[in-house]
A and B are shown apart, each in its own frame.
Chain A
């Protein structure tokens, strides 16, 4: 559980730091006109970004807890370390590429190079879908070699971790699909679409980071 606690401490410390800044040395009982921005959130007025960051904290807590369970379960006698399929390296490469392309698309969107949006978004989607397909293929390879979910707790955790991560990616692709449809059909508010792409990019980077942590954990144990 220490791992979950460390993650939690970091999240709470960030939150507390901001709260302290807001509340230290104030005299709430004094009636006065306060500055125009005193009611603003920690990142100005970007509500969607706040909601996304909160969601990322929730997801972090989710994965931190699974990793905690992993490390606790690992110490028990029946744990047989497994060898991960080589394919995972290729998949990791795909996900890194997807993140890079998304970042490039986002930069294009910010700078107003709208021509780059369509190919950028499509390529991101293809790379991400390829990652999911690759993960499924890795599952298939494992099963063909007789390593099922019930074979060993290490295997069970492998399927659980990769599956949970893939579900989060698929959730992200729903939002990606909405933004892409808007760009393709040239519909909707352009500013809104741009914001959507920005937020998706953050989410993609985050899930890449989660994957790198998970992959590192799987490789090292």
Chain B
């Protein structure tokens, strides 16, 4: 009776042990398979979005050289690139992918608490992706309203894709939110209810903390996107005036009365800002675990790290209007939101200090996952610092419509989370597949990606200062810019194409590993967390064989004085002296 959640699972498992190929790998209720399904789908749409960004860069670097890129296409590329990367790739990959894989394994559960709903979550997500991809091929093409979909332009003539594209976009978002809610209920319930014995909240690895708090944020913030999507659908299809002001279009009156576009912006950013942290918090958590594992040191200030995650999550709900400084808001509002925005720097800086202090005097192993984790610390500090600039109203106003903003948000929520995604894939790949990849190829992949992205985004800051406007298909009346601005743009495009091309290394490496890679050790990094302690490698359905693990310690017992091994797994008992213990020196 003491443990109904797990008892339920054991009970169900007897009946649902997958038998056929279809139930094992397609209609699977196993969290690990669902995680891989989420991951593959997300990476697939991510590649589409990467291709779109390459097309955009071609036009920007070499204007009018390519006949297949016209202004309409260009805006469609921008829109779909942003939307896919933020929502369909990063949100889905961090929560649907890593959340699904790591939560049950790291918490010591057999599976998610509601496996059927978990399966449904993936298939509904796939449906939203299909709707999204279909919108490329409908008459008029996908929407070109920008990823923020601001009305009135999102549904007024002049914007590409106002017939079907925008409708499919909004429907796809609504479907995605349903999928996310089903997944999110699972993640929250599993973290709260299905941890194994001894796994207190404050012993959870920070990866789980990051994913958990990000899920809570998502559950509370995505309804704002849903509300705005539904209301915009009404405005588009039924001609209500929630957001649409009295406006005439090319001499004709579409019949809208006095709606408020600013209302849409409020709703959108009420979702949009927490969304940044929905992507960032799992990255924070995963990076903490990677740094600690590969530096063979306990994470510096674990409790502070947990509370920083929670504080960032809470604060992220009261800063949304800093995306709207240019909408002409009351200066007192601007002051309020600038203040809250700058306050977020405090918990974020705590995290950065703690990462650096974790590395301090650590026994650092520069393996591929560690390289990506350290790379993240660089790009994140960089993007965070420019965030301090943009958080101030007076600095934001002139910079808001320039490439400075593009550089800022790509550093902080483009490059940084993607580096963590790669680090995490390289870290958990042996556990997921049971095979190793080529270390050298992985390092090449890191250095080319890391230096390449710097070469893209660092110059963008200068372009922004010089006043190069963002969102423009062609420069227009920008005689104040020196010709070298265009040279820099060409350089950025070359770098972007280079970085896009180097990603082939990653796929080659992974396919090689899957087919020819050497079998990996069950715990190749000598990590302490539970997912590396499974009886089977890779873990089978049900994860733990007959008995669930029991946890005696936190996830960061690395290099504990008096022990020969430099790590003690979480499920090693306190009263049985571990095999690697050397002289029996008792510290206390």
A36 CB to nearest chain B CB (Å)? 6
A33 pairs with B198, CB closer than 8 A: yes
Cα of A68 to Cα of B317 in the assembled complex, Å:
15
**B306 contacts the other chain (CB 8 A):** yes
Interface size for B (C-beta < 8 A) is: 67
Among A47, A65, A152, which residue has its beta carbon within 8 angstroms of that of B267? A65
Q: In the bound complex, do residue A69 and residue B192 qualify as a contact, i.e. CB atoms below 8 Å apart?
A: no
Give chain B residues whose Cβ lies under 8 Å from the Cβ of A72: 260, 263, 266
CB of A186 to closest CB in B, whole Å: 21
Contact A1 B241 (CB under 8 A): no
A185 to B189, CA, bound (A): 31
Q: Which of A8, A62, A149, A153 contacts B257 (CB 8 A)?
A: A153
Known: A47-B189, A160-B230. A22 touches B202 (CB 8 A): yes
Known A-B contacts A11-B220, A54-B188, A62-B223; A78 and B113 likewise in contact (beta carbons under 8 Å): no
Give min CB distance, B115 to chain A, whole Å. Answer: 12
* A168 beta carbon closer than 8 Å to chain B: no
**B63 at interface (Cβ–Cβ under 8 A)?**
no
Q: Name which of B35-43, B232-240, B460-468, B503-511 contacts chain A.
A: B232-240
A212 CA to B238 CA, complexed, in Å: 28
Judged by a CB distance under 8 angstroms, whether A77 is at the interface is yes
Q: A31-B553, A69-B267 are in contact. Are A8 and B234 (CB under 8 A)?
A: no
Q: Is A12 an interface residue (CB 8 A)?
A: yes
Evaluate contact between A31 and B314: CB separation under 8 angstroms: no
Chain B contacts for A149, CB-based, 8 A: 234, 238, 240
Which of B1-9, B14-22, B534-542 is the interface stretch? B1-9
Does A73 lie within 8 Å of B203, measured CB to CB?
no
Q: Is the CB of A23 within 8 A of B202?
A: yes
Nearest chain B CB to A216 CB, angstrom units = 20
Do A1 and B266 have beta carbons less than 8 Å apart? yes
| Residues from chain A with Cβ under 8 Å of B8 in the complex | 47
Nearest-neighbour CB distance to chain A for B271, whole angstroms, equals 9
CB distance from B47 to the nearest CB of A (A): 31
Q: Which residues of B have CB within 8 Å of A41?
A: 5, 189, 192-193
Select one of A22, A39, A42, A78 contacting B196, CB under 8 A.
Answer: A39
B181 within 8 A of A: yes
- Judged by a CB distance under 8 angstroms, whether B169 is at the interface is no
One of A31, A40, A50 near B189 (C-beta < 8 A): A50
Task: Evaluate contact between A33 and B574: CB separation under 8 angstroms.
Answer: yes
Which residues of chain A are within 8 angstroms of B184 by Cβ–Cβ distance? 54, 58
Contact check: which of A29, A47, A59, A164 meets B194 at CB < 8 Å? A47
The answer, yes or no, to whether B224 is at the interface (CB within 8 Å) is yes
| A5–chain B nearest beta-carbon distance, Å | 7
Q: Does B219 contact A (CB under 8 A)?
A: yes
A-chain residues with CB within 8 Å of residue B194 when the two chains form the complex: 47
Contact B203 A45 (CB under 8 A): no
Interface residue A150 (Cβ < 8 Å from any Cβ of B): yes
Residues of A within 8 A of B298 (CB): 29
Chain B 288-316 residues near chain A, CB threshold 8 A: 298, 302-303, 306-307, 310, 314
Is B227 among interface residues, defined by CB-CB distance under 8 A? Answer: yes
Chain B residues lying within 8 Å of A37, measured Cβ to Cβ, are 2
C-alpha gap A31/B303 in the complex (Å): 15
User: Is A210's beta carbon under 8 Å from chain B?
Assistant: no
Chain A residues with CB under 8 Å of B231's CB are: 69, 160
Closest partner residue, chain B, to A164 (CB atom):
B230
Which one of A16, A23, A150 lies within 8 Å of B303 (CB-CB)?
A: A23
- Please report which residues of chain A, range 57-79, place their CB below 8 angstroms from some CB of chain B when the two chains form the complex: 57-59, 61-62, 65-66, 68-69, 72-73, 76-78
Distance in Å: Cβ of B250 to nearest Cβ of chain A: 21
Q: Which A-chain residue is minimally distant from B9 (CB atoms)?
A: A47
Verify A156–B270 contact, CB threshold 8 A. no
B189 surroundings in chain A (CB, below 8 A): 41, 47, 50-51, 54
Does B554 belong to the interface (CB within 8 Å)?
A: yes
Q: Which residues of A contact B240 (CB under 8 A)?
A: 149-150, 153, 156
User: Is the C-beta of B199 less than 8 angstroms from some C-beta in chain A?
Assistant: yes
Q: Is the CB–CB distance between A28 and B198 below 8 Å?
A: no
Contact residues of B between 543 and 585, Cβ < 8 Å to A: 552-554, 556-557, 568, 574
The answer to whether A73 and B242 touch across the interface, beta carbons within 8 angstroms, is yes
Closest Cβ–Cβ distance, residue A42 to chain B (whole Å): 7
Please tell me if the beta carbons of B260 and A29 are within 8 angstroms of each other in the complex: no
Contact of A12 among B4, B186, B314, B552 (CB under 8 A): B314
Query: Which A residues between 144 and 194 are near B, CB-CB below 8 angstroms?
Result: 149-150, 152-153, 156, 160, 164
Contact at B227–A62, with CB atoms within 8 Å? yes
- Closest residue to A155 on the B side, CB-wise? B240
Q: Say yes or no: is A220 at the interface (Cβ < 8 Å to chain B).
A: no
Q: Which A positions have Cβ atoms within 8 angstroms of B?
A: 1, 4-5, 8, 11-12, 15-16, 19, 22-23, 26, 28-29, 31-34, 36-42, 45-47, 50-51, 54-55, 57-59, 61-62, 65-66, 68-69, 72-73, 76-78, 149-150, 152-153, 156, 160, 164
Closest 3 CB pairs of A and B: A31-B553, A41-B192, A78-B258
Residues of B within 8 A of A (CB): 2-5, 8, 113-114, 181, 184-186, 188-189, 192-203, 216, 219-221, 223-224, 226-227, 230-231, 234, 238-242, 246, 255, 257-260, 263, 266-267, 270, 298, 302-303, 306-307, 310, 314, 317-318, 552-554, 556-557, 568, 574
Using A29-B298, A160-B234 as known contacts, list a sample of 16 further A-B pairs with CB atoms less than 8 Å apart, ordered by residue number in A.
A5-B318, A22-B202, A23-B202, A28-B302, A28-B554, A29-B557, A31-B554, A31-B574, A33-B198, A36-B2, A39-B196, A58-B219, A59-B223, A61-B220, A65-B270, A149-B234
A-B contact pairs, 27 of them (CB 8 A): A4-B224, A12-B317, A26-B200, A28-B202, A36-B197, A39-B200, A41-B189, A41-B192, A47-B189, A50-B192, A51-B114, A51-B188, A54-B185, A54-B188, A54-B189, A58-B219, A61-B219, A66-B227, A68-B266, A73-B260, A76-B259, A78-B257, A150-B241, A152-B257, A153-B241, A153-B259, A160-B234
